[in-house]
């Protein structure tokens, strides 16, 4: 699409936001006692659509446009030349797809890191590959002006000034489904290289600096030591709510871990200093910052085993959350504008291959199902389709991915305003 065509397409968008009217049911019959909130598909075949990771800004500030990816195939790993389209869905204009660009740096779990830039009401960012490097595109959806920075990103600071990134080449080797194809890891033979790790980039200038190397992390002692032949990498980075700290997972795999891996959760200041091991126990999974000093994460802790816990940064204070209700790992966030009283979460498929997104009310331990979605068996491993629920910025809607309707992975919208009001 040319810049002129892009601008013309945007000009057709109606200014008013219409309410959710169409509904779909999830694949399993509802029980008589269940009253699930309204659900509608906002993408359709024959192409396949999904958004990306659950902790990104996927709704624009007006809660009208939802960012998503579009592709022509499923059920295999992306190759170096496989291109994905990036775009946004106008939920106020018959869920119209508006193409924004393309990418050759993407995966099934997190897409191209497509998201709205914090602090901007019109700019979006995503990763791509150009020649022998991964890059980041920033596009103003109002003017059509696009600029390209010479490095990729994983997460953005709350003021939209800074980006953090791991080494996506190494991730593609150590954690398939989270890295990008097309560029080999130049340090593949090294367990913990000195000149690769977590990078910070200035989104205004594109200037990048190495904050923490794999070697730096490997030099920080771990109880029991690292297993023989351990290969180190970083994954899952996220700024806190005011940008004063960021969180990341340090992972490694050696003889002791076999096909699995071990994990410890760190926090650090924006310059990579003042490192703190928030969870040393080896099994941290999904997490979210509640505020500038608390992290909610699925992890193992001696007090209750594997559960969701609330950690206070730079202390050893930990408390279990939803001990008897949220008993399975999922993709957890706090619903905006609810005073951090509502958690949005999901589950991996159960024995019947049903996924269960839900809301959890912290003050009362009330769990509210949002649906039960059948995941066909061919959606497994690297190209599985997690629901990855994400709330709108006003906290009134949830969007998720699912292939339950039989037309491949598509994007759905759920009205939760009657629950969290």
Q: d(Cα 263, Cα 253) in Å, to the nearest integer? A: 9
Query: How far apart are alpha carbons 217 and 236 in whole angstroms?
Result: 15
Domain of residue 367 covers 3-43+160-420
Closest Cα partner for 177 from 259, 114, 235? Answer: 235
Is 54 inside any structural domain? no
Q: How many domains does the chain have?
A: 1
Q: Say if 120 falls within a structural domain.
A: no
Q: What is the CATH number of the domain that holds 395?
A: 2.120.10
Q: Is residue 240 part of a domain?
A: yes
Per-residue pLDDT of the chain (421 residues), as tens digits, is: 444 444 444 443 433 333 333 333 444 433 445 899 999 999 999 999 999 999 999 999 999 999 999 999 999 999 999 999 999 999 999 999 999 999 999 999 999 999 999 999 999 999 999 999 999 999 999 999 999 999 999 999 999 999 999 999 999 999 999 999 999 999 999 999 999 999 999 999 999 999 999 999 999 999 989 999 999 999 999 999 999 999 999 999 999 999 999 999 999 999 999 999 999 999 999 999 999 999 999 999 999 999 999 999 999 999 999 999 999 999 999 999 999 999 999 999 999 999 999 999 999 999 999 999 999 999 999 999 999 999 999 999 999 999 999 999 999 999 999 999 8
Give the integer Cα–Cα distance in Å for 308 and 370. Answer: 20
Cβ pair 126, 156 in contact under 8 A: no
Does 76 map to a domain? no
Task: Name the nearest CA neighbour of 258 among 229, 222, 279.
Answer: 229
Residue 127 falls inside a structural domain: no
Q: Sign of torsion, CA 95 97 100 103?
A: positive
Q: 255, 340, 262, 334: which is closest to 300 by C-alpha?
A: 262
Helix (H) or strand (E) holding 171: helix 168-174
Whether 63 maps to a domain, the answer reads: no
Please indicate, yes or no, if residue 62 is contained in any of the structural domains.
no
Question: Measuring CA to CA, which residue among 368, 362, 377 is closest to residue 416?
Answer: 368
Q: Which long-range contacts (CB under 8 A, 24 or more apart) does 211-218 make?
A: 211/164, 211/268, 211/271, 211/272, 212/268, 212/272, 212/275, 214/187, 217/192, 217/250, 217/266, 218/191, 218/192, 218/252
Tell me whether residue 412 is in a domain: yes
pTM score above 0.85: yes
């Amino acid at each position: 699409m040319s810049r002129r065509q892009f601008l013309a397409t945007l000009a057709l968008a109606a200014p008013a936001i219409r309410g959710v009217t169409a509904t779909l049911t999830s694949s399993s019959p509802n029980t008589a006692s269940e009253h699930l909130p309204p659900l509608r598909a906002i993408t359709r075949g024959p192409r396949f659509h999904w958004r990306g990771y659950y902790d990104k800004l996927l709704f624009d500030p007006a809660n009208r446009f939802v960012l998503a990816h579009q592709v022509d195939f499923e059920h295999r790993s992306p190759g170096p030349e496989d291109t994905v389209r990036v775009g946004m869905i106008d939920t106020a204009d018959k869920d119209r797809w508006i193409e924004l660009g393309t990418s050759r740096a993407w995966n099934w779990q997190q897409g191209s890191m497509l998201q709205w830039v914090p602090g901007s009401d019109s700019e979006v960012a995503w990763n791509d590959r150009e020649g022998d490097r991964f890059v980041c595109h920033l596009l103003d959806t109002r003017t059509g002006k696009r600029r390209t920075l010479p490095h990729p990103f994983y997460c953005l600071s709350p003021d939209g000034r800074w980006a953090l990134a791991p080494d996506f080449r190494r991730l593609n080797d150590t954690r398939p489904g989270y890295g990008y194809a097309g560029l080999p890891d130049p340090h593949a033979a090294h367990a913990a290289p000195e000149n690769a790790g977590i990078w910070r980039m200035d989104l205004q200038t594109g200037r990048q600096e190495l904050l923490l190397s794999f070697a730096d992390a490997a030099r920080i002692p771990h109880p029991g030591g690292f297993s023989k032949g351990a290969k180190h990498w970083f994954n899952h980075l996220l700024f806190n709510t005011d940008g004063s700290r960021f969180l990341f997972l340090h992972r490694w795999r050696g003889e002791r871990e076999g096909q699995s891996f071990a994990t410890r959760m760190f926090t650090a200041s924006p310059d990579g200093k003042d490192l703190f091991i928030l969870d040393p126990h080896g099994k941290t999974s999904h997490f979210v910052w509640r505020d500038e000093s608390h992290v909610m994460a699925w992890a193992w802790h001696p007090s209750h085993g594997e559960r969701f816990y609330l950690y206070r940064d730079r202390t050893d204070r930990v408390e279990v959350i939803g001990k008897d209700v949220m008993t399975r790992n999922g993709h957890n966030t706090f619903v905006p504008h609810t005073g951090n009283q509502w958690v949005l979460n999901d589950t991996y498929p159960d024995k019947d291959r049903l996924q269960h997104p839900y809301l959890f009310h912290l003050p009362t331990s009330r769990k509210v199902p949002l649906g039960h979605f059948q995941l066909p068996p061919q959606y497994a491993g690297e190209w599985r389709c997690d629901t990855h629920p994400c709330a709108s910025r006003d906290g009134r809607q949830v969007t998720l991915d699912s292939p339950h309707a039989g037309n491949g992975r598509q994007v759905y919208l759920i009205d939760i305003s009657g629950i969290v009001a």
